[in-house]
Chains A and B, each alone.
Chain A
């Protein structure tokens, strides 16, 4: 700690603090423009100049100057005010004064400072900037005439996002912020730059002329897309979500968001939302009243239960409270056929983890990742499914020199981070590489085997995974594999990252077991500061696992329910918040099941391809319309808050399920999320938390480090390699999440349709150019997809994301992780 005096006040601050931070943390105001909490000190704008007694003769930028013992600082004097005024005059020489039409007006740092320092006239005159605005991209408006060259956008895109869209170009008066070759923005569109801009140079285009900032009502909630659990602050005007506001005060994401979080909210306002219950009459789905719809559903489910049985299949974007109610509904109905969407797909991950570590969750928390020495990411897709954790990894790498290891069948964002080492395997062979890493640890005596069960069996099963053999099969360099294992073993703190979700079904159990083995052999699981991270695809995937939204002992899981339905052995299916036709593997099977089942109820926001087949469709509420809790991928229970009412007569899933429960004679009334959360606590001890005590940072159940309750090594049987000139894999694309984002304008503006991604070499061989329509055939199915050509795909490997129902990718993928395909123009 360091003692110093600021404006006569004696203060003590940590020795790595700057003068600005010391002042701020002690309630002393120093104006800043280019400073941002999450960025490294820069000192571009000189508005924060102060006087330091020990450094007389010049003014000192407080945001870049570290404190020293005995420092005496003055933050305001006649000279300082004069200089700050001059700085502002300089900035205003060429800054256009179009505040009346600038969306930043009212929360613009330059406007506020000009007001604070009463800069009413300008002694200098000069040309105003007259630069064209970036009208090309749909999401971020760049008006460089308003830019003050603070460099925050350049820095956040580098330091936090790791994309590097922007740079200062030219020199002197000509200096401006631009992209490479001064073109329109073409990037991830996470909008981090927008959130950082102190003026109106970077603005969210969808929000243009929608509202003045002071008119907006702000509601803090949790993003409804992925398992990262980012806090999003809804900006609401007239009961409509108009924008997502920057908020770095609360939550786990430090104000960082991805395109989905920042621009993907618009599906909430979509005109396609369901507003009234629909009941099938003849061949038509007809709008009806709730009473009738609920009666039909209750009767149908009861009848089915008296017959061959009814089943309930839930998505993973319901709140914990809603999932709890759904569990109770199953009890009331008397069915054990209950599952969440993971039951069809990624249940292997949880099973694998339960068998090895005895827990079914990440063992660490996200903020710890920033301070790790080594991060191992399984599949480059990790950044695409969980971009904001990806940003934490970027900061670990860039700021703290962490070594990033990527085990992946294709390139991607993570592989491009500084010093990243990619163990690039053949498609679908990531598992072999993980086994290979375990084998190296054992072979070289680096494994921490004390107290581990199953060591002998593991050693036997890994005999085929020596570095050389793995190298031969996967194409990964044997020495690189050995080196990676040594780095993992030698790391003080390390993180193993595995994302799971609907498109990553095959081998999910084996991958989880292999990752768990690795975490046990390295001692990462349960070690302070380290962790194995299992990151769910959906906002409440972890909640579904924690609450045990699973089949009863005698009940059917998701796959079994679909099989039973397809075989005419199930009389009703109630699907809540999921579109299996579009998202589950093996669409043919799903379609058959939904067509065969005599009574289908679908509860959703949209008339999805599943809902279109239903007997009754119940209109549900989005995340922005409900209260409750989500549990994110690091076990953080966070409050979800309603910001807007649901459109028309749509109700929250909780209200619908409770009403249905009552209709069926159940006892659990819908008494609001707080009361239900208390009920959950009685069932699930980890959730025995007072609802009102779930603060701005949420509550992490199990603590910062979750100790494994078992330490049992498992056997992860690898799959044979799929041969073929072209091999197709599926997965998630960065701009989308599940199928919901295909209803959101923001993500759609950037990635509007399905595509197949290929290497430049393959494109050249096939004579295919970006955007050409190509035929991809395999597994008896032919898909027509637009070609996307880039550098990240290895030759002979193709990637097609699964989000778009029209693509039919899930018709081709049934149980495979890789499919040998032919491709032609």
Chain B
């Protein structure tokens, strides 16, 4: 708070998408969660301006929305990468070398847990068990699952996504 909190970040965001999401739910009481989920789906994260817009249009305090956003792990307030890499750090993966996998990814992309590459292509997240212990060590890239990874295989996965748009 002491760190120059008064300077509001001026984000140039097109609010059309957020307005459309709100239009859809505005007559439904208690619609804050679906609205926020919709906004995140549209923008990939929740831009600050959309919080103020939602507050204004749903007549909810911005502070309350911020409370909700910080309570649930599903919401992100920073732009996220196109490809979300979830590295499983569960017990089985840990034993089978998840550390080496995450090191490899960090080497290749230069980002660690909860970080996003500058080109907004990749976001890395360390997650607890994703329920695929039989395939340990395992990562997910968006909805794709890659199991029984080695350092080399991980390299190949990264290469594959680097080549994609």
Contacts and interface: CB of A to CB of B under 8 A. Distances in A.
24 contacts: A132-B1, A132-B3, A136-B1, A142-B1, A164-B61, A164-B62, A165-B61, A166-B63, A167-B61, A167-B63, A167-B66, A167-B67, A168-B67, A169-B67, A170-B71, A179-B66, A180-B55, A181-B51, A181-B66, A182-B1, A182-B66, A183-B1, A183-B5, A186-B6
B6 A184 contact: yes
Nearest to B68: A167
Contacts of B67: 167-169
Nearest to A183: B5
Interface string A307-318: 000000000000
Interface string A164-207: 11111111000000111111101000000000000000000000
Given A167-B66, A169-B66, A170-B71, A183 B6 contact: yes
B63 A178 contact: yes
Interface string B53-88: 001100101111111001100000000000000000
A418 interface: yes
A186 B56 CA distance: 17
Contacts of B115: none
A133 B1 CA distance: 7
A135 interface: yes
B62 to A, nearest CB: 4
B2 interface: yes
A709 interface: no
Interface of B: 1-3, 5-6, 8, 48, 51, 55-56, 59, 61-67, 70-71
B39 to A, nearest CB: 15
Interface in A128-182: 131-136, 142, 158, 163-171, 178-182
A165 B59 CA distance: 13
A135 B2 contact: yes
A159 to B, nearest CB: 12
With a 10 A CB-CB cut-off, give which of B56, B63, B65 has the most chain A CB atoms.
Answer: B63
Interface of A: 131-136, 142, 158, 163-171, 178-184, 186, 416, 418, 791
Contacts of A142: 1
B5 A184 contact: yes
Given A164-B61, A180-B62, A169 B2 contact: no
B5 A136 contact: yes
A808 B63 CA distance: 37
Given A135-B2, A184-B6, A170 B61 contact: no
Nearest to B64: A167
Top 8 A-B residue pairs of the complex, sorted by shortest distance between their CB atoms: A164-B61, A167-B67, A180-B62, A167-B63, A183-B5, A169-B70, A132-B2, A180-B63
A164 B59 CA distance: 11
B32 to A, nearest CB: 12
A208 B89 CA distance: 49
B1 A181 contact: no
Contacts of B6: 136, 183-184, 186
Interface of A is mostly: loop
Given A169-B67, A170-B71, A183-B5, 15 more contacts: A131-B1, A132-B1, A134-B2, A164-B63, A164-B64, A167-B64, A167-B66, A169-B66, A169-B71, A170-B70, A180-B66, A181-B51, A182-B1, A183-B6, A184-B5
A665 B59 CA distance: 64
A180 B51 contact: yes
Contacts of B51: 180-181
Contacts of B63: 164-167, 178-180
A184 B48 CA distance: 16
Nearest to B70: A169
B61 A178 contact: no
A416 B59 contact: yes
Contact of A134 (B1, B59, B64, B70): B1
B154 to A, nearest CB: 32
A179 B8 CA distance: 13
B59 A418 contact: yes
Contacts of A179: 63, 66
With a 10 A CB-CB cut-off, give which of A163, A167, A169, A182 has the most chain B CB atoms.
Answer: A167
Nearest to A137: B6
A168 B70 CA distance: 9
Nearest to B67: A167
Contacts of A135: 1-2
A136 B61 CA distance: 21
A131 B2 CA distance: 10
A54 to B, nearest CB: 34
Nearest to A791: B56
B111 to A, nearest CB: 23
Contacts of B65: 180
With a 10 A CB-CB cut-off, give which of B1, B62, B64, B71 has the most chain A CB atoms.
Answer: B1
A393 to B, nearest CB: 16
A178 B71 CA distance: 13
A131 B1 CA distance: 9
Contacts of B8: 183
Contacts of A168: 67, 71
Nearest to A176: B70
Contacts of A182: 1, 5, 66
A734 to B, nearest CB: 18
A180 B50 CA distance: 13
A662 B30 CA distance: 70
Nearest to B9: A181
A702 to B, nearest CB: 38
A171 B71 contact: yes
Nearest to A174: B70
Nearest to B3: A132
B33 to A, nearest CB: 15
Contacts of A180: 51, 55, 61-63, 65-66
A171 B3 CA distance: 23
A183 B52 CA distance: 14
A414 to B, nearest CB: 13
A533 B3 CA distance: 46
Contacts of B2: 132-136
With a 10 A CB-CB cut-off, give which of B3, B5, B59 has the most chain A CB atoms.
Answer: B5
Contacts of B55: 180
A158 B63 CA distance: 11
A700 B64 CA distance: 40
A181 B61 CA distance: 12
B69 to A, nearest CB: 8
A131 B61 CA distance: 24
Nearest to A180: B62
A182 B77 CA distance: 13
Nearest to A165: B63
Nearest to A158: B61
A135 B61 CA distance: 23
Nearest to A186: B6
